[in-house]
């Protein structure tokens, strides 16, 4: 390839002399990005798949609950990539009953923080007086992501002021040593500029370039993977490729994690932006297609089950209302049903029993108290790929 994408700067940290990498600003130059036939066709495939997903989003009767589920899926999987154990079921269990069950609640709280960071950022970008997609916005998202994370001080909301490294036990034996802290202001400034500059490269390509550049800079002490993946989501919305964050791209990174790391790394070592972009665009195409398919299956299931509920002889209005709430609350307790339906306990119990009778809800704990009810068929469709590991 022979493209030079940056330079090494010698710094010393913890008594060692090390070479920290300092990337050149985007876009790739000398030579510029090579749009060969393979890259062009992957780009086209990814663009078509995203457009289809966007259209699917406008055609569903209640986008809200689909969004609710898919945002949770992305949050869970993006957190899992770097070792969080919480699954989608843990998250929904925590939201329904206040405890996760099998994993540490701290793990689930980290996933909740991710959801909080995403919805905060989207709200800012959409409101007239909110922050635009910028370094400040990313910092604020980071502050929410890292809120109350136990252990060492991760400097929530702040660019790091010390040297970090990826892989290995110290900078001297690391896989990668990102830029020294005194250059981060300039580097993040150029990254922010590239988001807003007029560029002839297509937006999906630019999103891919920005993700790898962000990971190369590694501006925070922790949370770089999650904020970098959040950035992709925000960019797709910023450039109007999707109106809402329906794409759970992290699932692709998780499925091909070794290649994810390798591709990021080879951009720096060999200047191979093209190889990274091919991986990235393939991921967008694959996941966008899968997402459309999952949405269709969820809708088919919902309309079948709705018919079941409506055709039951003893069906109650409360059962019907509860059924319509299940897509965004596929795991519930009686207490939760009382709250959601704004009703009495006996009515909530009746609503739940109705849905059990219709074969829609299943009690999963086997306990006599603190029982938990799941919309199992729905969860099974949704949770593909979200188990930990
Ligand atoms: N060799 C590499 N070069 C650049 N970035 C990398 C490399 N290997 C991993 N990464 C990125 O670093 C992330 C991990 O950084 P970290 O700050 O711990 O993020 P998080 O806490 O969100 O997982 C990975 O998810 C990946 O995006
Ligand atoms: Mg980490």
Here the CATH number for the domain that contains residue 309 is 1.10.10.10
Same domain, 184 and 132: yes
Cβ atoms within 10 Å of 294's Cβ, excluding its own: 18
Distance 222 CA to ligand 2 centre (A): 5
pLDDT of residue 1: 58
Distance separating alpha carbons of residues 248 and 3, to the nearest angstrom? 32
Ligand lying nearest the CA atom of residue 168: 1
Same structural domain for residues 66 and 155?
Answer: yes
CA angle 227, 223, 256 (to 5 degrees): 75
Instruction: State which of 292, 323, 355 marks the end of a domain.
Output: 292
- Does residue 225 sit in the same domain as residue 348? no
- Closest atom of ligand 1 to CA, residue 218: 17
Listed residues 228, 258, 292: the one ending a domain: 292
Total tally of structural domains belonging to the chain:
2
CA distance 218 to 183: 12
Measured distance CA(325)–CA(173) in Å, rounded: 52
Q: Which of 119, 146, 108 is nearest to 388 (CA)?
A: 108
Do residues 193 and 77 both lie within one domain? yes
Ligand nearest to the CA of 110: 1
Tell the residue nearest (CA) to atom 14 of ligand 1: 225
Q: How far is the CA of 44 from the centre of ligand 2 (A)?
A: 33
> Which residues' Cβ are closer than 6 Å to ligand 1?
81-82, 166, 175-176, 215-216, 222-226, 228, 261, 264-265
pLDDT computed for residue 100 by the predictor: 73
Give dist(CA 232, CA 55) in Å, integer: 19
Kindly report the protein residue whose alpha carbon is nearest to atom 10 of ligand 1: 261
Map residue 372 onto helix, strand or coil: coil
Residue range(s) defining the domain that contains residue 276: 6-292
| CA 27 – ligand 1 centroid, Å | 21
Contact 277, 39 (CB under 8 A): yes
Residue 201: Cβ-neighbour burial (10 angstroms; 0-12, 13-18, 19+): middle
Dist. CA 142–CA 134, nearest whole Å: 12
8 Å CB contact between 247 and 288: yes
Residue partners of 337: CB distance under 8 A and separation at least 6: 322, 343, 348, 351, 352
pTM of this structure: 0.96
E strand spans, the chain? 6-13, 16-23, 331-332, 361-363, 373-375
Q: Which two tokens stand for residue 86?
A: 């919480």
Which atom of ligand 1 is closest in space to residue 227's alpha carbon? 22
**Which ligand 1 atom is the nearest neighbour of the CA of 267?**
3
Please check whether residue 389 lies inside any domain of the structure. no
> 350 alpha carbon to ligand 1 midpoint, in Å?
49
116 and 244, same domain (yes or no): yes
* 13-to-70, 278, 290 alpha-carbon distances in Å: 42, 36, 45
Residue 329 lies in a domain: yes
Of all protein residues, the one whose alpha carbon is nearest to atom 2 of ligand 1 is: 265
The ligand 1 atom at the shortest distance from the C-alpha of residue 176 is: 1
Residue 51: what pLDDT? Answer: 98
Determine the Cα–Cα distance for residues 38 and 44; give it in Å rounded to an integer: 10
Distances (CA, A) of 166 to 20, 124, 260: 11, 31, 14
**Same domain, residue pair 112 and 209:** yes
Same domain assignment for residues 272 and 300: no
> Contact at 8 Å (CB) between 181 and 160?
yes
Ligand 1: which residue has its CA nearest to atom 18?
A: 222
- For residues 273 and 291, the answer to whether their CB atoms sit within 8 Å is no
Residue that terminates a domain, selected from 245, 268, 292: 292
CA of 277 to the centre of ligand 2 (A): 23
Look at residue 1 and tell me if it is in a domain.
no
Within-domain flag for 387: no
* Residue of the CA atom closest to atom 3 of ligand 1: 265
Judge contact between 70 and 245, C-beta under 8 A. Answer: yes
- Please check whether residues 168 and 264 belong to one and the same domain: yes
The answer to the question of residue 106 being in a domain is yes
Q: How many CB atoms lie within 10 A of CB 103?
A: 18
Would you write out the chain's pLDDT as a tens digit for each of its 389 residues? 579 999 999 988 878 889 999 999 999 999 999 999 999 999 999 999 999 999 998 887 778 888 999 999 999 999 999 888 999 999 999 999 887 777 888 899 999 999 999 999 999 999 999 999 999 999 999 999 999 887 667 899 999 999 999 998 888 899 999 999 999 999 999 999 999 999 899 999 999 999 999 999 999 999 999 999 999 999 999 999 999 999 999 999 999 999 999 999 999 999 999 999 999 999 999 999 999 999 999 999 999 999 999 998 777 899 999 999 999 999 999 999 999 999 999 999 999 999 999 999 999 888 888 899 999 999 999 999 898 76
DSSP secondary-structure letter at 158?
S
């Amino acid at each position: 390839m022979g493209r030079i994408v940056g330079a090494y700067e010698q710094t010393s940290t913890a008594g060692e002399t090390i070479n920290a990498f300092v990337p050149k600003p985007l876009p790739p130059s000398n030579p510029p990005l090579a749009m060969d036939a393979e890259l062009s066709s992957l780009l086209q495939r990814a663009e078509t798949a995203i457009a289809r997903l966007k259209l699917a989003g406008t055609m569903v009767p209640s986008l809200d609950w689909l969004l609710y589920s898919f945002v949770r899926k992305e949050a869970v999987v993006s957190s899992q990539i770097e070792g969080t154990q919480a699954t989608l079921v843990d998250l929904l269990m925590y939201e329904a009953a206040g405890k996760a069950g099998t994993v540490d609640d701290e793990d689930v709280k980290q996933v909740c923080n991710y959801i909080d960071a995403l919805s905060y950022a989207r709200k800012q970008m959409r409101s007239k007086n909110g922050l635009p997609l910028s370094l400040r916005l990313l910092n604020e998202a980071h502050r929410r992501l890292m809120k109350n994370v136990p252990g060492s001080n991760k400097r929530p909301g702040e660019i790091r002021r010390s040297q970090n490294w990826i892989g290995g036990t110290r900078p001297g034996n690391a896989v990668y040593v990102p830029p020294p802290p005194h250059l981060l202001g300039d580097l993040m400034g150029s990254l922010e500029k590239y988001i807003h500059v007029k560029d002839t490269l297509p937006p999906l390509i630019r999103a891919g370039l920005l993700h790898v550049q962000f990971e190369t800079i590694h501006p925070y002490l922790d949370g770089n993977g999650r904020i970098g993946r959040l950035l992709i989501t925000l960019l797709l919305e910023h450039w109007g490729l999707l109106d809402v964050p329906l794409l759970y791209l992290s699932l692709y990174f998780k499925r091909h994690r070794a290649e994810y790391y390798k591709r990021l790394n080879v951009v720096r070592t060999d200047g191979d932006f093209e190889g990274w972009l091919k991986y990235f665009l393939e991921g967008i195409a694959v996941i966008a297609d899968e997402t459309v398919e999952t949405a269709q299956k969820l809708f088919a299931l919902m309309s079948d089950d709705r018919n079941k509920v409506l055709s039951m002889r003893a069906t109650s209005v409360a059962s019907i209302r509860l059924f319509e709430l299940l897509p965004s609350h596929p795991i519930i307790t009686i207490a939760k049903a009382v709250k959601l339906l704004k009703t009495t306990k006996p009515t909530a119990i009746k609503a739940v029993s109705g849905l059990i009778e219709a074969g829609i809800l299943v009690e999963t704990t086997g306990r006599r108290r603190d029982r938990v009810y799941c919309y199992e068929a729905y969860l099974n469709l949704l949770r593909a790929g979200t188990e930990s590991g």
